[in-house]
Amino acid sequence: MTGRLLDFAPAAWQAYRELPAGEESGVRRALQRLAADPAAVRAGPGSRRYQVVEQRLPQAAQVWGFPVDAPDGGRRLVVWREVANVIEIGYIGPAPSQVTE
């Protein structure tokens, strides 16, 4: 299996570049796993589909997000979709806190 090309939205690229060194390496490893095997990332723990985002996009493609643990105990969220052989990264930033019902 060949890896996919990662294509960052401008805001996601800026957020990635501004991550502190410890967080940047964790997000980079997560993005490498995503490029190598998006199906495994979709099936992984914490991964979820964002249909509300899909409805607002012009191209029909599933939108997924997965958390990445930060060294300070926080979490980053990576939101992405796969279009052909490209993984579009739409958001990298703080993960929303878990909502309990």
* Residue 42, Cβ density class (10 Å: 0-12 exposed, 13-18 middle, ≥19 buried): middle
Please give the pLDDT value at position 78. 96
The mean predicted confidence, pLDDT, of the chain is 87
Q: What is the mean pLDDT of residues 13-40?
A: 92
Instruction: Kindly state the DSSP code that residue 85 receives in the 8-state scheme.
Output: T
Q: For residues 12 and 90, what is the distance between their CA atoms, to the nearest angstrom?
A: 6
Determine the topology of domain 5-94 in CATH. Answer: YaeB-like fold (3.30.2310)
- What are the pLDDT digits (tens) for 49-73? 988 887 877 777 899 999 998 888 8
